[in-house]
Amino acid sequence: MTTTPVLEVKNYNVDFWVDGSWYPAAIDMNFHIKSGEVLAIVGESGSGKSSSSMGLMGLLASNARVTGSVLVKGTEMLGTNVATLRKFRGREVSYIFQEPMTALNPVYTIGFQIIETLRTHFDMSTEAARNRAIELLTLVEIPNPEASVDKYPHQLSGGQRQRAMIAQSLACDPALLIADEPTTALDVTVQAEILDLMRNLKDKLNSAVLLITHDMGVVADLADKILVMKDGFTVEQGTADQIFNSPKHPYTISLLNSVPKLGSAPSRDLKSDASGGPVLSLKDVTIEYPKRGRVPAFTAAKNVTFDIQRGEILGLVGESGSGKTTVGRAAIGLIPVKSGSIEIVGKEIAGSSQKQLREVRTHTGIVFQDPASSLNPRLPIGESIGEPLFLAKVAKGAALDRMVEDLLDSVELPRSYRNRYPHELSGGQRQRVGIARALSMNPDILIADEPTSALDVSIQARFLELLQELQDRLNFACLFISHDIAVVEILAHRIAVMQHGVLVEIGDRDQILQSPQHEYTKMLLSAVPVPDPAEQRKRREARLKSK
Amino acid sequence: MAKKDKSLEAGAAEANSIEMRETAGLSQGQLVRKRFFRHRGAMISMIYLVFIVLFLFTAGGIHLGTKNAPFTIPGWWHWTINDLTEVAYGTGDKGQLTVGAPTMNLNPFAGKAFGIGDHPFGQDTIGHDYFALVIRGAQQSIMVLLVVGFIGGLIGTVLGAISGFFGKFIDAVLMRFTDLIITIPTVIIGSVIGMRLGNLGVFPLALFLGFFAWTGLARLVRGDFLTLREREFVDAARVAGASNNRIIFKHILPNAMGVIIVSITLLLSGAILLETALSYVGFGVQSPDVSLGTLISTYQDSFQASPWLFWWPGFFIISIALSVNFIGDGLRDAFDPRQKRKITRKDIAAAHKVEKAAKAD
- Alpha-carbon distance of B145 to B206, in angstroms, equals 8
Q: Closest Cα of chain B to A440: distance in Å?
A: 9
Q: Is B258 on the interface with A (CB under 8 A)?
A: no
Instruction: Give the angle A312-A335-B251 at the CA atoms, nearest 5°.
Output: 100
Which residues have C-beta within 8 Å of that of residue A255, sequence separation ≥ 6? Answer: A42, A44, A216, A228, A457, A458
Instruction: List the Cα angle A211/A217/A218 in 5-degree steps.
Output: 25
Mutate to test the interface with B, among A18, A367, A378 (most CBs of B within 10 A): A378
| Nearest by CB: A376 against B233, B350, B351 | B233
pLDDT at A403 over 70: yes
Give CA separation, A301 vs A297, A330, A498, A504, in Å.
Answer: 12, 10, 9, 12
User: Does B69 contact chain A (CB < 8 Å)?
Assistant: no
CA separation for the pair A453, A463 (Å, rounded): 11
Residue A524 has pLDDT above 70, yes or no: yes
Nearest to A422 by CA among A412, A410, A434, A414: A434
Instruction: List pLDDT tens digits, range B18-41.
Output: 444 445 666 777 778 888 888 888
CA distance B129 to B123: 5
pLDDT for B254: 86
Secondary structure string (H, E, C) spanning A396-438: CCHHHHHHHHHHHHHCCCCHHHHHCCHHHCCHHHHHHHHHHHH
pLDDT in tens, A330-346: 888 888 888 888 888 88
Q: Which chain A residue has its CA at the smallest distance from B352's CA?
A: A21
Count of CA atoms in the C-beta half-sphere (13 A) of B186: 21
For residue B222, what pLDDT is reported?
93
pLDDT reported for residue A347: 82
Asked if A32 and A5 count as a contact pair (C-beta separation under 8 A), the reply is yes
- Cα(A349)–Cα(A356) distance, integer angstroms: 8
Which of A19, A387, A421 has the CB atom closest to B337's CB atom?
Answer: A421
More confident residue, B357 or A341: A341
Tell me the domain boundaries of chain A.
274-363+443-527, 378-441
- Structure confidence at residue B354 as a pLDDT band (50, 70, 90): low
Q: Give the closest residue to A530 by CA, choosing from A520, A539, A543.
A: A539
Q: Which residues of A touch B237 (CB under 8 A)?
A: 376, 387
Which residues face A70 on adjacent strands? A9
pLDDT on residue B361: 59
What confidence tens digit (pLDDT) does each residue in A71-83 have? 888 888 887 888 8
Does the pLDDT value for residue B7 go beyond 50?
A: no
Concatenated DSSP letters of A79-109: T--HHHHHHHBTTTEEEE-S-HHHHS-TTS-
B316 HSE (CA, 13 A, CB side): 29
Cis upstream peptide for B288 (omega within 30°) = yes
Q: Do the Cβ atoms of A378 and B254 come within 8 Å?
A: yes
The proportion of chain B whose per-residue pLDDT surpasses 90, expressed as a percent, equals: 12
B43-81+124-340 CATH fold: MetI-like fold (1.10.3720)
The string over A425-453, giving b where at least 16 C-beta atoms fall within 10 Å of a residue's C-beta and e elsewhere, is bebbbbbbbbbbbbbbbebbbbbbbbbbe
CATH no., domain A274-363+443-527? 3.40.50.300
Nearest residue in A to B355, CA atom: A21
Identify all chain B residues contacting A434, using CB atoms and an 8 Å cutoff.
Answer: 236
Residue A547 has what pLDDT?
Answer: 60
- Among the listed residues A229, A247, A249, the one whose alpha carbon sits nearest the alpha carbon of residue A239: A247
B95 touches chain A (CB under 8 A): no
Quick one: pLDDT at residue A85? 84
Q: Give the per-residue pLDDT at B225.
A: 92
Give the helix/strand (H/E) hosting B69.
none
Chain A residue whose CA is closest to B168 = A292
Of B19, B233, B337, the CB nearest to A415: B19
- Which residue in A376, A380, A401 is closest to B31 by CB distance? A380
**pLDDT at residue B160 above 90?**
yes
Q: Least CA distance to A373: which residue of chain B?
A: B232
> Nearest Cα to B268, choosing from B337, B350, B358, B328?
B328
Give the closest residue to B337 by CA, choosing from B73, B36, B44. Answer: B36
Nearest-CB residue to B232 (from A374, A400, A423): A374
How confident is residue A130, by pLDDT bands cut at 50, 70 and 90? Answer: very high
**Is residue B19 less than 8 Å (CB to CB) from chain A?**
yes
B8 bridge partner residues: none
Among all residues of chain B, which has the CA nearest to that of A358? B241
Taking CA–CA distances from B254, the nearest residue in chain A reads A378
Task: Output the pLDDT for position B68.
Answer: 64
Query: Edge to edge, what strands does the sheet with A502-508 contain?
Result: A364-367, A445-449, A477-482, A313-317, A494-499, A502-508
Q: Taking CA atoms, what residue in A is nearest to B242? A: A391
Confidence at residue B1, expressed as pLDDT on a 0 to 100 scale: 41
Q: Tell me which residue in B28, B246, B343 faces A20 most closely, judged by beta carbons.
A: B343
B239/A334 Cβ within 8 A: yes
| Cβ–Cβ pairs < 8 A, chains A and B | 112
pLDDT > 60? residue B2: no
Q: Please, which residues bridge with residue A507 across strands?
A: A495
Q: Strand pairing of B97-99 and B89-91?
A: antiparallel
> How far is the C-alpha of A31 from the C-alpha of B155, rounded, in Å?
63
Can you give the pLDDT at residue B112?
67
The tens digit of pLDDT for each residue in B96-152 reads 777 777 777 777 776 666 667 777 777 777 778 888 888 888 888 888 888 888 999
Write down the pLDDT at residue B172. Answer: 92
Q: Tell me if A376 and B251 make a contact (CB, 8 A cut-off).
A: yes
Which of B19, B27, B28, B239 to mutate to test binding with chain A, by most A CBs within 10 Å of its CB?
B239
